[in-house]
Structures are given as C-alpha cells and as structure tokens.
Structure 1
Amino acid sequence: MQREKLQLPLQTSSLIAGFMVWVLISSLMPSIKQDIDLTNQQTALVTAVPVILGSILRVPLGYYTNKYGARLMFSISFFILLFPVYYISMAASFIDLIIGGLILGLGGATFSIGVTSLPKYYPSEKHGFVNGIYGAGNIGTAITAFSAPVLASTLGWETTVRVYLILLILFGILNLAFGDKKEKRINIPIKQQLSAVYKNTTLWALCLFYFITFGSFVAFTIYLPDFLSNNFGLTAVDAGLRTAGFIALSTLFRPVGGWLSDRFNPFIILIGVFSGLTFSGVLLSFSPTIELYTVGVLTVAFCAGIGNGTVFKLVPLYFSKQAGIVNGLVAAMGGLGGFFPPLVLTTVFSITGHYSIGFMALSEVSLASLVIVLWMFYQDKLQVESKIINSTAQGMMITDKQGVIQKVNPAFTTVTGYEPEEVIGKKPSVLRSGHHGPLFYENLWDQLNDQGYWEGNIWNKRKNGETYLEWLTISKVRNDAGELIYYVGQFNDLSRHIEEQKITQE
C-alpha cells in the first residue's frame, strides 16, 4: 500500500525530469547559435524535431505501460536518453542537432506512461484531478527554459547539457527502486485494441482537441525563446524567464482543468477553452507591442492548461478498456500539434515578413474545434436522455404532433410484445382493444388539448391479442417557442397487479 501511494509523486517527478530533457535544445538555442551557424528555417526544424519522436513513441509507450508497468518503462526511457543527451553536448553541426534531437523526443513521450498507469490506483471520479496533477509535470519544461540559459551563461551550453546526465541516471534508479512491481497489467494485443477504437469518432475528436491544447503549449514552449530574442531583442536569459512564466501558468492550470472536469461537464469547460484560444489567435495576429503580445500568449497558456487537464478526463470515460492505446494516440496527436506551428510560423514569416497568418491559423482551427465541441455537447445530452428513456421501468411511447410513433423503450416491448420496428411509423391505434367507444377517445383528446395532459385507466391489446388494463399518462412536449413537438405516453400494466391481488384474497 505504501508503494502504491508513492506512484503519483514518483511518476509526476519522473515526468518533470523527462520534460526537462525534452526541451534542452530549444531552451539553449540562443547559446547554441553562437557556436553553430543556423538559418531561421534550420533553427525552427532543430527545435521542432524532438517533438516527432516525442509524439510517435507515445502510442507504444502507453501500450507497453499497460503490459509491463510504469516502473520498467520510465527506467528504460531514462537510460536510453543518456545517449542523445551526451551526443548533443558534443554537437558541432546542424545534422548533429537533428540526430540528437530526434532521439531526445523520448523525454516527451514519457507522458503517456503516467496517464496510463496512474488511473489504476484511483476511482474514476478522481481521474481528472489525478491526471491533472501528473500533467503538471509539464513544469519540467519551465525549469529548463529558465535554468538552462542561466547555467549556459556560466558553464557554457555543452557542460550545461551534460549536467542533465546526472538527472537521468538519478530518476532511472529511483524508478527501479520505488516503482510498483505489482502494478495491474493489461495484456490485450495492440492490433485488437486499435481495431476496437479506430472507427470511433470520439477518439479522433479528442485527438483534435489535444492537438490544439497541448500542441499550443509545446509550440509556444519551443518557439518563444528564439522568437522573443529575435523579434523583441530580449536577452537569452530574459526570453527564458518569460518562456518559463508561460509554461508555469499553463502547468498550474492543468490540474485545475482536471479538477473542474471532475465536477462539471467537461464539454462545457472545453467550450470556454476553445473560445479563449480563438480570441488569443486573433489578438496575436494584430499585436505589434510586447504588452499585447504578452496578453495573447498568457491567454494561450491559461486555455491550454485548462484544456489539457480536461481532455484526459474524457479518455477513461469513453475508453475504459482501451485506455492505454487511446491515451497514447491522443497524447501523440498533442505532441504533433507542437511540431507543425513553429515550422508554419517560420515559413509564413519568410514569405510575408510577419507572423499574422500563422496566428490566424491557430484562431481558425480553435474555432473549428469549438463547433465540434458544441456538437458533441448536445449529442451527449441526447444520449443521456435516450439512456434515461431506455432505463425507465414504465412503458414509454413518443409520437410526433401528428400522432405517429417515433420511439418506444424496452419496457414498452415487455408489456405489449411489439418490437420497436413493428410500431415505429404507425399510430397508437395499433394497440386499441375495442373496449372503448369513440366518446372515450374524444374526451381523452379534449382534456389533453385543454390541460396539456391526460391520465387514467385504459384497456389495450398486446401483440398476441390479449387485452390488458394499464394506467396511462399522455403529456404534450413543447419547444422553447411554445410549439407542440411531441406527445409522450407512459404506462404501467395493471392486469398483472390485479391478478396478484385476486390470488392474495383467495
């Protein structure tokens, strides 16, 4: 039990270490460029390359975490990272940085280890908050963004990179020593898990949402240090400090997003997130001063943090049996979301001389995501309403305003014997028993029209021809404009109750 309690702090601190290593190149880029001659496009590519492997490897890491546990996956990842970190410390060319940076992406891929492992230790109502706490390991990027330039100004960037070797060895050993050897394992073949989810539109919607929220976080993290130095003339240390502020704010609000999604509808939170990102994209497109630019960037930090915490609340809600592979896919798309923007912004700048079009792209994609979230929100409400209807013990029949049956629930079939396809499209007269004359139905409709509902005993007929007595309530359903849209009939079979009473009396 004690070892289980250690997993949240151990895995969160491990993610901090992984993310510290992940952004080494982007954080030290102003210093690296003093020794290695790089064009603007080469700089953008070098800083974006670690995101590639950091995205692609999230899928297998999520899968193998379910199979072998977080202890082994974290340890192996940290020991492998020793090689690219040492190689980068000796880099002397653009190609060296590309090769080392590609493998360095493993540090970012470690994210999918914890989001797959930690929910096993907590009830579902805490998954949002727990994943939010773990996701706060993003702060590792802020630590490196702030500290690496400071160390580089004293030690040189090569020695600064080698300092991270100590960090990797330390956390590799810590995970071997304190990781949970008895973590619950899920050994379902990856092909089987993929075939079960790849056609699910919810999966791809969540991938898009995380592509925007986490992609924005990663893109600004790797893009800001060099951009602030070049565009506003800030020193490497000042640019690193401002970047660290962006990362810290986004990281702080990640667990807040998880906590909010545990208590409120996650789709409502995402509506606010994408509204804010749409606004910030427009603001950044037209902000020539560093003050307005700062407002736009901090808005991105706030919305990205809240959004990152919210998306991973939704994953276990929809994919409890395939959480490992889905966590990996969603996380991978988030990482890829951080790869493209720096390249797009650099290309746009080289063609137009400014970044406005690139930031407008963020606004437009966020707006499209907002539309999708709104659609999913209302679809979710409809599904909840459908589940309520299908779970109701009373027989239920819904007709349009012309009295044509649109939907019936399982209890309707149990009482009447009619399957849904046998009555949908027909009128309720299919159930008439012949016990009541025209005057009965005239009075029924008169009361229904005058009072908006009718209730009483009525004899109806089952599919097998047997008549039965039911207590029926018919209600009108109107829209917000007051127009009639449905009639809803709810009924209980009284005949069996009457027979039970007779047996009791005898």
Structure 2
Amino acid sequence: MNDIKGTPTQGLFGATLGFFFGFAAVALFGPTAAKFKDILNLTPQMVGLLVAMPALSGSLLRIPFSAWVDTTGGRKPFLILMLIAIIGLLGLSIVIYMVMFNNLRSGVYELLLLFGLLSGSGIATFSVGISQVSYWYPQQKQGFALGTYAGVGNLAPGIFSFLLPIALHKLGLFNSYLIWLGFLVIGTILYYATGKNAPYFQLKQKGLDEKKAIEQAKSLGQELFPSKSLVESLTLSAKNFNTWLLVILYFTTFGGFVALTAWLPTYWKSYFNLSLVYAGLLTALYSILTSANRIAGGVIADKIGGANTAIISLALMGIGALGLFLANSIGIAILSEIVLAIGMGVNNAAVFKLVPKLVSDAVGGAAGWVGGLGAFGGFVIPPIMGEFVAVYKSAGYAKGFIVFVVLAVVSIAIAYYLKLKAKA
C-alpha cells in the first residue's frame, strides 16, 4: 500500500493540467481560419468545415477513450490522445511551412482537414479526465472535484484565443504554430509527470487480483470502482429516451461553446473588421465567461433543480443569440455575447445535474453519450453558419446566429418536458 503514488489532489491537478493543454487545438483553429481563408481563397463553407474538424474527433473519441479508463485507468488513454494531438499539430506546422515558404497549394486544404482532425483528439481528454478524477474522489467530494476540473480546464480556449492573435501579429503563422506545438508537448510531459491513476488501477498493474485490489483501494479511501457491464450501461442508457433529450441540451450549449470558440474570431474580424488581437480578446471573453459560469451553474442547479436551471439559462442563451442576430453595433454585439456566454455556461452544468435523476439505472453510460455526442455540436454548427455567410455575404455572420435562437427554443421545450418528468 505504501507504493501507491499520488493523492486525490494530485490526481485532480494532473488531469486538469493535461486537459487544459489538450484543449489548445480548439483555440488554434479559430484565430488562424482567417489566415487560411486569405491564403487559400477558401469559401465560407470551407472555413466552417475547417474550424469544425478538431471538434469532430474531440467529441466522438470521448466515448471509447472514456470507456477504456475502466480497464486501464486514465494515464494511458490520456497520453495516447495527447500524442495524437501532437502529431496533428506537427503535421499542421509542416503544411503551413510548405505553404508559406514553398508556395504549396495543391492538396493543402485536405491536409489541413486531416491534421486538424488529429489535433482535436486533445479535446477528447475531457471524458478521460472526468473518469480519472471520479475514481480518485469519494462521492461527497466529486461535485467539487469535477466542477473544478471542468471549469478550470475549459478556461483554456479563452486564454489561448487571447494569446494566439498576439503571437500571430508578432511572430507570424508558422512560428505561432511551432509555439502552440511546444505548449502541447510541454503539457503532455507535465501530465506524464503529474497524472496519476487511482489506487485500484495501480494495484491491478502491480498484479493484485480484483478482490484484493478493491479491498486495498478501499482502505486508501477509494469508493468508486469500474463497472463490470460498461457495454450494458451504454446499451441501457441508449434505450432511455431521456438520454437523447439530454444529448440535445448539451449539443446546444457545450457543442455550441466549442463551435463559437472556433467561429467567433472570424465573426469579429469579418463582420466588424476588428484586428485579430481584438477578435481574440472578445472570443476569450466569451470562452472564459462560459467556462466560469459552469461552476456557478452547478451551485444554482443544486438549489433550484437542474430542469429549472436549464430553462432559465437557455432563455438567456436565446436572448443573447437574438441580440447577436439583430446587432448593428459592436456594443450591442458584445453585450449579447456576454448574455449568451452566461446562459450556455450555466446550462452545461444543469445538464449533468439531470443525468443521474433521469437515467438513474445507467448514469455512466448516459454521461458518455451526453458528453460525447453533445460535443458533436462543435463540428456540426460552424459549417451551417458558413452557409449563411455564403448566401448573405458579410451580413450572414450575424444572420447565422438564428441557429442558436432556434436551438434555444427547442431546448427550452425539451427542458420543460424533462422538468415534468423529473419534477425538479
């Protein structure tokens, strides 16, 4: 027992640190999309697909890699995802070098899509870290631990969205990518040094049988252990209609969060003609507010119920989206962005408050579907908004926010329905 490495605090710190750096790809694509658009003469639809690629792998890989934690602990899945992301950013850096210094044009867009897909695997570390942290902490402390993990880790896009335009202005596109690649490598090394599996997984790795590993891990304070029926949990939750309604709610606000983190830099630059630095600053404002309010949203949901919190927060989101749709001045647009961010962040917390109440017989499986497929909105939404730009030209950057107005209305109806079922 004395050979067990780490403490719950160290487990939380390591996972949060790794997730923070793994989220770099989301922030990276947004501010550089305008550069790609100019260099390669991309259409709005092509830009929308490009900025969405990291979200595709970042959402879909969450489900299998989170499941893998139950058999091996979090370290191996986490490190593999980070290494794939490094390959993606390295590939992007090479392609950009060839474009900038060797005038390469043929096949560049396809390579950007491929390496963008790989770089997005760092986002999938979210679900791995959730499982890793959960195994470290007793149930009465998991709310604090998971709230801290998600809230702090999700600050990354906001911080990087602010820093990257400054780097682009001072150092250029290629050097900025090299720096971001360095960030990811450093983050991977730091996770390798600090990320620890919970006692049960360390004991199993030392060769202890199931029963002895559980007994010793319990004596060290571990309360949660892997389910022997992960596939059954996923199957059972998939058969519960509530699971898919919760997927839609999370698709709207967390998928929307990922989408807008990538889309807003282009919106601010192309619609209001702001510099990349100011566009990055306003994107950072949105991203940080959304992430910080996720922590507050958990507290509110504890007091008034998850469904009530969802209804109120989605209404705020709808108001903010409508403001951006109608905005004819930068002041109204910024105010609307702030309202939108508050609503989306609070709802992200409300959704996971509802999961155990509405899918009580398969919480783990439901969380996997909600977290993975909900994040898929980050891939789906940007290309749709790109279509508005293709049709309405510059005005389409504002008109595209009608997508979020519609999503808000649909989600409010779903939340009200769930409130009647959950009596929350």
TM-score scaled by length of structure 2: 0.83
Residue type of the alignment partner of 1:222: A
CA distance in 2, matches of 1:114, 1:316: 19
Residue type of the alignment partner of 1:161: Y
Matched residue, 1:28:
32
CA distance in 2, matches of 1:197, 1:162: 42
Root mean square deviation, CA, Å: 2.3
CA distance in 1, matches of 2:245, 2:375: 15
Farther off after superposition, 282-291 or 265-274: 282-291
Q: How does 1:46-445 map to 2 (within 5 A)?
A: 46-91=50-95, 92=99, 93-136=108-151, 137-184=153-200, 186=226, 188=228, 190-318=230-358, 322-353=362-393, 354-355=395-396, 358-381=400-423
Percent identity, aligned pairs only, is 28
Shift of the alpha carbon at 1:199?
1.1
CA distance in 2, matches of 1:368, 1:279: 14
Shift of the alpha carbon at 1:180?
2.5
- Contact 1:112–1:327, Cα closer than 8 Å, also in 2: no
Matched residue, 1:3:
7
- Contact 1:65–1:117, Cα closer than 8 Å, also in 2: yes
Matched residue, 1:484:
none
Which entry has the higher C-alpha Rg, 1 or 2? 1
- Contact 1:12–1:134, Cα closer than 8 Å, also in 2: yes
Matched residue, 1:455:
none
Deviations 1:294-342 (A, max 9, x none): 1221111111111112222333455567444433321222221122222
CA distance in 2, matches of 1:323, 1:10: 25
Change (3 A) 1:359 1:167: closer
Shift of the alpha carbon at 1:100?
0.8
CA distance in 2, matches of 1:90, 1:344: 29
TM-score scaled by length of structure 1: 0.71
- Contact 1:54–1:105, Cα closer than 8 Å, also in 2: yes
1:41 to 42, 45, 56: 45
- Contact 1:81–1:103, Cα closer than 8 Å, also in 2: yes
Matched residue, 1:488:
none
Shift of the alpha carbon at 1:279?
1.8
Shift of the alpha carbon at 1:270?
0.8
Change (3 A) 1:32 1:183: farther
Shift of the alpha carbon at 1:256?
1.0
CA distance in 1, matches of 2:361, 2:67: 12
CA distance in 1, matches of 2:289, 2:137: 26
Higher relative contact order (CA 8 A, sep 6+): 2
The total of aligned residue pairs comes to: 382
The structure with the greater share of residues assigned to helix is: 2
CA distance in 1, matches of 2:189, 2:360: 31
Residue type of the alignment partner of 1:109: A
- 5+ residue gaps, structure 2: 100-107, 201-224
Residue type of the alignment partner of 2:404: L
Shift of the alpha carbon at 1:124?
4.1
Is 1:12 paired with 2:16? yes
